[in-house]
Amino acid sequence: MRIYSLQDFIRYLEKTGELIRIKTEVDARLEVVEISIRALREGMPALLFENVRGFRFPLAMNVLASEKRIELALGKHPDQLGNELITFMEEALPPKPKLFFKHPGIVKRLFCTLPKTIARPPSQQVISNPNLNELPITTSWPEDGGRFITLPQVFTCDPRTGKRNVGMYRMQVFDEKTTGMHWQIQKGGGFHYYQAKKMQKEFQIAVALGTDPALLLATVAALPEGIDEVMFSGFLRGKRTRMAKGKTISMLVPADAEFILEGTVHLSELRMEGPFGDHFGHYSNAAEFPVFHINVITHRRNPIYPATVVGRPPMEDKYLGNATQQILGPLIRLIHPEIHDLWAYYEAGFHNLLVVSVEERYRKEAMKTALSVMGEGQLSLTKCIITVSEDVNPRDFHAVLKAIRENFDPAYDFIMIPKVPLDTLDFTSYKMNLGSKMIIDATRDESRNAIQKDGLRLSDFERLMKIIDTRIMDWKILDETLLVVTVPDNGKEIVAKLTKSPEIIGPKIIAAVSPDVNIHDLEQTIWGIFTRFDAERDIVFTQEKLVGVSPIFRGKMGIDATWKTGYPLPLVMPDEIIDKVNKRWDTYWK
């Protein structure tokens, strides 16, 4: 089936039993969000809300919130597509004529990268004055600063070169024709805005709402700067992307989108935007960002408005992010042949934890690789990199912990990098866009003696937890490597006690988390640890000293990952909304 639009895909999902139409009247503020979160976690199909209170347009959610729907969108598993792409690229250097016959599928996709311009696009069937109040724009969390457009595909052009970028940045609705434009650091649209300000040149943009899955996946993919997402979407789809001339701007816009918002961002205007419940599982604080002024809204005759929810994992971005790294991840071998595989953990908001498996051809090559990766595009925002040997699966957190247990010695294998750019959404340093990073090298080093692996029995830990500090509420040890303790407060003090205790033998890392983290659930444990510590301030070791200006660490590593005063609040749905959805749950599916 040819899928050019969101509506094409929705019909396909419905045909395959992967979509439910909800006819019950629902509220776009919080209620639809709670429904979609619960539906995702119960493995239910995508949702089409046909009766959103106060709005005439239907609302689609969870459209790509499963591995099956991702595979339906791409026509194959993203791992398979990624392996086919890297195999082709590796064999294409130098190019050989027989290559085109050996890989006909990839070659066909490559020929589909050139967009096609059409004269009468469905996305411009209706042209109207801007009025965002007509769209069922959602409010996801109770302390959000207002309604937010959560699946916008923002089209910008570099004012110097004309090169296009398509990115996804949340947009807070200020009124019927203006929104915020949340350009985080290291984003293509933000770079174009920077150049426009530098040149004092009018900055036109277009925002597409509701496109086919290929263009959506291309939009969220961490492509190298300067690579056109529209062209990449043609590769993913295996069909050329259809574009059309904008009505009020000198840009091409997606011909098959549900809605197009055309307008400009004023170069000298900033406005407070936020707070917003984001994918780190906490609110991001309000701050000043540029303002988007809409000239016109065009749409299909019977459009569908799309939305997603971000928050404490798992959410839909788990499937979007995993798919794009499965497709693009192998390509890093073109510039880093020593890398066998890499994986960013959705549980930690992707940017907070990256594991890289490396074939070391000389001593400490993995550390060199980690430092290099920290300078690569979106990967430069990574807070924690763990390197492992090439036979360790970086997607298996248990295997990663085992590698740390067997190979990690902080005296040789730990680097902390302070005062560097960090993801805009990271709040742990209390400074927007700045923070600290760390590298843990857990690759095998044959030149060193094997690290002692003896540990304590579980009964010994039970006794010690009660003796060392009575404030420890709960504890769990993962793979004899990571000891996680739940504490009500004073996390750093308790972690310091545990790391310096000579009676605790075995765990290489000890982490303290707050009571809202379920340490008996691996997904929530990873989230609770890696979203709540600053490497410079919150890490301690059994022994710490300076040799010249170089810090030397020995023994156990401790992480204070407790929630701290000054952090934004974690995301929690109000009890009244949970109760409302509980009472109405059966009515949604009639």
Confirm if 508 and 557 have CB atoms less than 8 A apart.
yes
DSSP secondary structure code for residue 365 in this structure:
H
Confirm if 123 and 246 have CB atoms less than 8 A apart.
no
Confirm if 241 and 215 have CB atoms less than 8 A apart.
yes
208: its two tokens:
């597409």
Confirm if 310 and 279 have CB atoms less than 8 A apart.
yes
Identify any residues that bridge with 205 across adjacent strands, giving them in sequence order: 263
d(CA 524, CA 355): 18
515: its two tokens:
């009571």
The 3-state DSSP class for residue 205 equals strand
d(CA 57, CA 157): 30
367: its two tokens:
């550390």
Residues 6+ apart with CB under 8 A from 290: 180, 181, 183, 193, 265, 266, 269, 270
Name the pairing type of β-strands 434-442 and 414-421. Answer: antiparallel
Cis amide prior to 275 (ω within 30 degrees)? yes
The catalytic residue among 27, 144, 212, 278 is 278
Read off φ and ψ for residue 356, nearest 5 degrees: -125, 125
Read off φ and ψ for residue 517, nearest 5 degrees: -100, 125
144 a catalytic residue: no
**Sheet (strand 539-547) strand order:** 474-478, 482-486, 509-513, 550-561, 539-547
- In a 13 Å sphere around the CA of 411, the CA atoms on its Cβ side amount to 8
Confirm if 367 and 360 have CB atoms less than 8 A apart.
no
d(CA 239, CA 531): 39
Residues classed as catalytic: 278
